[in-house]
Amino acid sequence: MDGLGDIAAFSLAFALTLLGVACTDRSVADAALPPVSSVGAGPGSIPGVSALGRLEPEDGIRHVAGPSGGPSVITELRVDEGDPVERGQILAVLDTEPMRRAAIQRWKAELANAKRELARYSELNTNRVASDSSREDWETRVRVAEAELAHARAELARAYVRSPIDGQVLYVHAREGEQVGPEGLLELGRTDSMFAIAEVYEDDIGRVHTGQRARITSPVLEAPLTGTVDWIHLKVAKQDALGTDPAARKDARVVEVEIRLDDSAPAAALTNLQVEVEFEPGPR
């Protein structure tokens, strides 16, 4: 009996030792685990929302096209990628410029001649030498020349591609000697005012509201960006931003949410960069 008692006591002590080691390892492992969600919700608040998105200038990317009415060839490109531009600034000159200038000179000459003849026939009509119809004919020619001159000046203006906004050149599609294609001449953006465009699942959009704070991250960014929800789009669309998870919902329907960044400088040169957006939890 003494031998059996010693064996039982030893077995019990060994089991207790193993149980203590297991509990200690479980405590250490639990302490090392990361939190379940980086967007937690405190008592009495609605859980936050996470979404994929992209960086974009305010009002999006402007694709500046050439004039309508047929392809045009660029003879002079006055800007390049990265250049700041102002509204109304000439970006490029097209090959139609010399012809348009010549048309202006022609109609200026036509108008000057018509005005001289009108003055002469008006004097002759006053002296009853020329008929009223002759004077009226030259009045009509003056009006026609004035209209043609205005048209020629409008056509000359179409030979210059001007910037529609204050912004920055993001990408150039066509250079000297090339035609302006369907993609346009170049792309512009207001990079001094950057946004994150988050694609929020339609099931989660009820937990996002204007004025809500958000955190934007990407491996490319040196530090997370922050911002405030500025606008929630009114249309549900198919998701464009897809992550690397093979099990992700490829056919998900989303609502785009615009987040105005607190500091646009770190994002100014990263238009279309894919980012992850975390919206802060809100009150219930």
pLDDT, tens only, 88-110: 999 999 999 999 999 999 999 99
Helix segments in the chain, DSSP class H: 2-32, 97-126, 132-157
Separation CA 206–CA 282 (nearest Å): 11
Confidence of residue 53 (pLDDT cuts 50, 70, 90): very high
pLDDT digits (tens, 9 = 90+) for 177-200: 999 988 899 999 999 999 999 999
pTM: 0.72
Confidence of residue 116 (pLDDT cuts 50, 70, 90): very high
Domain residue spans in the chain? 45-62+189-283, 97-157
Mapped onto helix, strand or coil, the DSSP state of residue 208 is coil
CB 141 within 8 A of CB 65: no
Q: Which CATH number fits domain 97-157: 1.10.3470, 1.10.405, 2.60.40, 1.10.287?
A: 1.10.287
CATH number 2.40.30.170 is the correct assignment for the domain at 45-62+189-283: yes
Q: Which of 130-139, 182-191, 275-284 has the lowest mean pLDDT?
A: 275-284
The percentage of the chain sitting over the pLDDT mark of 70, rounded to a whole number, equals: 79
pLDDT (0 to 100) of residue 46: 58
Which residue matches tokens 């210059």?
160
Which residue matches tokens 């980012």?
275
Confidence of residue 233 (pLDDT cuts 50, 70, 90): very high
Question: DSSP string of 213-275?
Answer: EEEEE-TTSSS-EEEEEEEEEEEEEE-----S-TTS-TT-EEEEEEEEES--GGGTT-TT-EE
Separation CA 189–CA 86 (nearest Å): 11
pLDDT (0 to 100) of residue 108: 97
Separation CA 232–CA 270 (nearest Å): 22
Which residue matches tokens 């959009």?
205
pLDDT (0 to 100) of residue 6: 55
pLDDT (0 to 100) of residue 131: 85
The larger pLDDT score, comparing residue 130 to residue 30, is at 130
- Indicate whether 23 pLDDT > 80: no
The larger pLDDT score, comparing residue 68 to residue 149, is at 149
Three-state secondary structure of 169-188: EEEECCCCCCECECCECEEE
